[in-house]
Chain A
Amino acid sequence: MAGIEIARVVKAYGATPVIHGIDIDVRDGEFVVLVGPSGCGKSTLLRMIAGLESITGGTIRIGDRVVNDLPPRDRDIAMVFQDYALYPHRTVAENIGFGLKMRGVDRAIIDKKVQEASEILQIGHLLERKPGQLSGGQRQRVAMGRAIVRDPKVFLFDEPLSNLDAQLRAEMRVEIKKLHQRFGTTIIYVTHDQVEAMTLADRIAILKGGHLEQFATPEVVYKEPRSTFVAGFIGSPTMNMVKARVAPDASVIMLEGGASMAAPPAFRRAAGRDVLLGLRAEHIALSDAPAALAAQAVIVEPLGSDTLALMRIGAVEMTGRFAPDSGLVAGKGVKLMLNLDHAHLFEPDTGLAIV
């Protein structure tokens, strides 16, 4: 087991930089998820850790060893690929034991380890099959088995669940989390799915355009997004983001279109400025209080456990999360309280958080 230190890492293809100096410090045994939209550099970064891509600048350390110039096989890592990379001409057992065989491990030990791994992953009955005869979920398990038997210092996962349907994905998510609890090995996991990132990670690294936007626990990333990008990327439904202006004395905040509310003390740092007001759906509530804002339900989406509704407040629209029995009807007028204690203010130009 080992931590990983990614320090000022840069990747460029010719003159085109794709990763612009990223710092991520992964603790021993930590589960870190690299997340971001396609083209953000998350897979490239993972492949640089694996040694499948060269490192243009900076250093990557696994344990206390700088691995910049080590070939993949000497880095003591195991990787699960998006397409699983199972060899179609080999049985499940041979696929799982491949890495051990390549390293000249004794036949009997390979058999024993393959047996153990296949029992943990509940694929013991599939050992003699070929990958072509397996379902997507079973192949996923075989790919993980191949990583487990190696007993590496670090597991790397490259979008391992993206080829599975939604139900299997949820199932395998649980399986991966169990695996991490069982072995406690450091894991770096790449995905574009923020739900996967939130549910699996000890800490999430959110990447955008080759820059690290934020690296923190799921809770912090959710509650204290450092930028509009993080705020919009993490959480479902997406955080509401509306133009607003804080009064010069910071006593009130005015939404675009005229609605105004009392501002909490924290907003003083944005006194007199144009801002983007970010507010999550759960911080919008129906209310009869005198200060409540007049609004109109535009679209109502019942989800069963709760109901999402797009509300028009003056000139802006915001999605709120309400109890399923709220009796919301599209087109009907309601009164809303926005819980600004949980609101975020962002700089409109840079997108960076002010509060």
Chain B
Amino acid sequence: MSDAIRHKLTPLEKSERRLGFAMLAPAFLLLAAVVLYPIAELIRNSFHFNHLAQPWMGTPFVGFENYVKALGDDRFHEAVWHTVLYILVTVPGAVVVGLGLALLANKPFAIKWPVRLGLLLPWALPLVFAGLIFRWFFEYNQGVANAILRGLGFEPLNWLTTPSLAFFAICLAIIWKSSSFVALVLLAGLQTIPKSFYEAAEVDGATKWQQFREITLPMLRPAIFVALIFRTITAIQTFDIPYAMTNGGPGNSTETLAMYIHKTTVDFLDLGYGSALAVLMFIVSALITSIYLRHTRRDPGRH
């Protein structure tokens, strides 16, 4: 069948096809250089011993040794557990806050710029900046958090040096930073809901809360799903904010998987083991992305 089609191509079509491939080539080569090659190199590395501090050992092939090492590595397990906790807290947190922001931004305000600024600023800010700002907020002597506590007559807290408080502070920073992206996605979703849906509901006797539950939420489901998936994929890679706020401390109590990988490779110079950990993280991200892709491919058929 496909042979039959290929034979029917006229010279003009063939030259158009060649032109098409030629125009795709630069983009493909660039992607190959910055994505495909590093991934291949990462996977190759993960099956080798490669420790920059021990150059005399060379880079021998070690099979699954690096992966087996990960299974018994407590610090790796902790980092995974912390990452899971960040996902469980900050993904729903960002969706709830983002939904609130989106609903607010969807209201007809007379002056729109403060709302838009509030919506876009966290999104436009680099992650490390956000981390630094929140580190300052939770600083013991000059931070806003302790100033408020003192103002209310409470003792100041050691926010960033108490494990549970540091975790809380980091989650707050991540939610603040990531909720604006969620809000943008949900705002786009909100604006596709026809006004007449609400008017019909109003005439039919639905209260504002009923309208939210019966119209807004179900109509927003696809957008919420997209936001959840994107947020989850970035949450798996959580790095910058805890890095800037606590650098994983106190101890390893706020260290994420991405931070541990970074430390293993950049600080401890163990490229082989670090690569194995990175491959594991890559597999989890790829799995979640594939769930998302399957869902979006199925979605249009269902409606």
* A→B interface (CB under 8 Å): 50-52, 71-73, 75, 77-79, 81-83, 85, 87-89, 98-99, 102-103, 130, 132, 146, 150
When distances are taken between beta carbons in the complex, the residues of chain A under 8 Å from B215 are 87
The 4 A-B pairs at the shortest CB distance, nearest first, are namely A99-B204, A85-B200, A73-B205, A85-B196
B219 touches A78 (CB 8 A): no
Residue B303 lies at the interface, judged by CB distance under 8 Å to chain A: yes
When distances are taken between beta carbons in the complex, the residues of chain A under 8 Å from B202 are 51-52, 71-73
- The complex places the Cα of A60 from the Cα of B210 at a distance, in Å, of 28
Q: How far is the CB of B76 from chain A (nearest CB, A)?
A: 43
Per-residue A-contact encoding for B210-229, CB less than 8 Å = 1, 0 else: 10001100110100000000
B199 touches A81 (CB 8 A): yes
Residue B25 lies at the interface, judged by CB distance under 8 Å to chain A: no
Sampled A-B contacts (29; CB under 8 Å): A71-B202, A72-B199, A72-B202, A73-B202, A73-B203, A73-B205, A75-B203, A78-B203, A78-B204, A79-B199, A79-B203, A81-B196, A82-B196, A83-B194, A83-B196, A85-B197, A87-B219, A88-B303, A89-B218, A89-B219, A98-B206, A99-B205, A102-B204, A102-B205, A102-B206, A102-B207, A103-B205, A146-B204, A150-B204
- The complex places the Cα of A77 from the Cα of B204 at a distance, in Å, of 8
B214 touches A98 (CB 8 A): yes
Closest to B221 in A: A89
- The complex places the Cα of A130 from the Cα of B303 at a distance, in Å, of 8
Residue B201 lies at the interface, judged by CB distance under 8 Å to chain A: yes
- What DSSP secondary structure best describes chain A's contact surface? loop
- The complex places the Cα of A59 from the Cα of B219 at a distance, in Å, of 37
Q: For chain B, which range describes its interface: under 10, 10 to 19, 20 to 34, or 35 or more residues?
A: 10 to 19
When distances are taken between beta carbons in the complex, the residues of chain A under 8 Å from B199 are 50, 52, 72, 79, 81, 85
Q: How far is the CB of B78 from chain A (nearest CB, A)?
A: 42
Given A72-B202, A89-B221, A99-B204, 16 other A-B residues pairs in contact with their CB atoms under 8 A: A52-B203, A73-B202, A75-B203, A77-B203, A79-B203, A81-B196, A85-B194, A85-B196, A87-B218, A87-B219, A98-B214, A99-B203, A99-B205, A102-B206, A102-B207, A150-B204
Q: How far is the CB of B195 from chain A (nearest CB, A)?
A: 9
- The complex places the Cα of A176 from the Cα of B196 at a distance, in Å, of 21
Knowing A88-B303, A102-B210 touch, does A50 contact B203 (C-beta < 8 A)? Answer: yes
- The complex places the Cα of A83 from the Cα of B194 at a distance, in Å, of 9
Q: How far is the CB of A288 from chain B (nearest CB, A)?
A: 59
A132 touches B303 (CB 8 A): yes
Q: How far is the CB of B206 from chain A (nearest CB, A)?
A: 4
- The complex places the Cα of A78 from the Cα of B199 at a distance, in Å, of 11
- The complex places the Cα of A103 from the Cα of B203 at a distance, in Å, of 11
Q: How far is the CB of B183 from chain A (nearest CB, A)?
A: 22
- The complex places the Cα of A69 from the Cα of B6 at a distance, in Å, of 71
When distances are taken between beta carbons in the complex, the residues of chain A under 8 Å from B200 are 79, 81, 85, 146
When distances are taken between beta carbons in the complex, the residues of chain A under 8 Å from B214 are 87, 98, 102
When distances are taken between beta carbons in the complex, the residues of chain B under 8 Å from A52 are 199, 202-203
Q: B46-98: which have CB < 8 Å to A?
A: none
- The complex places the Cα of A305 from the Cα of B136 at a distance, in Å, of 86
Closest to B206 in A: A102
- The complex places the Cα of A29 from the Cα of B171 at a distance, in Å, of 62
- The complex places the Cα of A334 from the Cα of B230 at a distance, in Å, of 78
Closest to B303 in A: A132
When distances are taken between beta carbons in the complex, the residues of chain B under 8 Å from A99 are 203-206
- The complex places the Cα of A78 from the Cα of B194 at a distance, in Å, of 18
When distances are taken between beta carbons in the complex, the residues of chain B under 8 Å from A81 are 196, 199-200
